[in-house]
A and B are shown apart, each in its own frame.
Chain A
Amino acid sequence: MVLSPADKTNVKGTWAKVGNHGAEFGAEALERMFTSFPSTKTYFSHFDLGHGSAQIKGHGKKVADALTKAVGHIDNLPDALSELSDLHAHELRVDPVNFKLLSHCLLVTLALHLPADFTPSVHASLDKFLASVSTVLTSKYR
């Protein structure tokens, strides 16, 4: 799957609209994922997963910052996400199915907060972008 120039424009445009709500949206997406897909909580047994948890907020910011980096290096995701890719492969070892669950919750969060901007084309571009990021993060698993 290849991101077209239009996809890249859509992704960058959306991320600009996210502005400094990245951490907040990241945390919300995580909370939605934990609530809708309880099996994802198994990776966070060391976290307080209650609503408003400082740890979820902190982790939401981490996720958002990584996505910001990805958006900024959208022409070379493997390079930009190489360290994160190593981390997921050798330390975190999150089963690949979970990337789809978080990606879905990120889309829900963005659709909710940016309803007018979340057109069908933008929706498609974001889905492709998150799938590309997920592919890179699981690329060194075996």
Chain B
Amino acid sequence: MVHLTGEEKSAVTALWGKVNVEEVGGEALGRLLVVYPWTQRFFESFGDLSTADAVMKNANVKKHGKKVLASFSEGLKHLDDLKGTFAALSELHCDKLHVDPENFRLLGNVLVVVLARHFGKEFTPELQSAYQKVVAGVATALAHKYH
């Protein structure tokens, strides 16, 4: 459960309304794979990930980034029940995908950096703080069903 004030929730939603989910999703996932190359271990079937340029232009990365961020978008509509919202995805990431939850934290922080890059000064310290709570909440929810 994420503890955001009414103001924070409005600010988070307002900014998200301006996000191009496809573009930001692709950029965030791409940057994750470039900045933390060990995360590529989950994407061996994606094709050429050999250079930063190859990663950022990779169609599979863009497609998957869009999928991931669309799911995150859904979470933003249910900030009061992230664990419920992400229960099935949590089981999937544990039982089938075998993803270390640390990766959710890494991706969350990369997303924050991407939002800062896109929105500049509009991404105030207070807005960053609200988003840090959201990404932490989503990461925790995705790890919740791990066993």
Residues on A lying within 8 angstroms of B by beta carbon are 28, 31-32, 35-37, 104, 107-109, 111-113, 115, 118-121, 123-124, 127
Contacts and interface: CB of A to CB of B under 8 A. Distances in A.
Contact of B35 (A28, A35, A113, A120): A120
A115 B117 contact: yes
Interface of B: 30-31, 34-35, 52, 55-56, 109, 112-114, 116-121, 123, 125-126, 128-129, 132
A123 B113 CA distance: 9
A118 B52 contact: no
A127 B128 contact: no
Contacts of A121: 34, 52
Majority SS at the chain A contact face: helix
How would you classify the secondary structure of chain B's contact residues: helix, strand, loop or mixed? helix
Given A107-B113, A108-B113, A108-B116, A120 B31 contact: yes
A32 B118 contact: no
B17 to A, nearest CB: 20
Nearest to A128: B35
Contact of B112 (A35, A108, A115): A108
Contacts of A111: 113-114, 116-117
Contacts of A107: 113
Contacts of B55: 120
A55 to B, nearest CB: 16
Nearest to A105: B128
B120 A115 contact: yes
A119 B52 contact: yes
A112 B117 contact: yes
Contacts of B109: 104
A67 B112 CA distance: 23
Given A35-B126, A36-B128, 17 more contacts: A28-B125, A35-B125, A35-B128, A35-B129, A104-B113, A108-B128, A111-B113, A111-B114, A112-B120, A112-B123, A115-B117, A118-B117, A120-B31, A120-B35, A121-B34, A124-B35, A124-B52
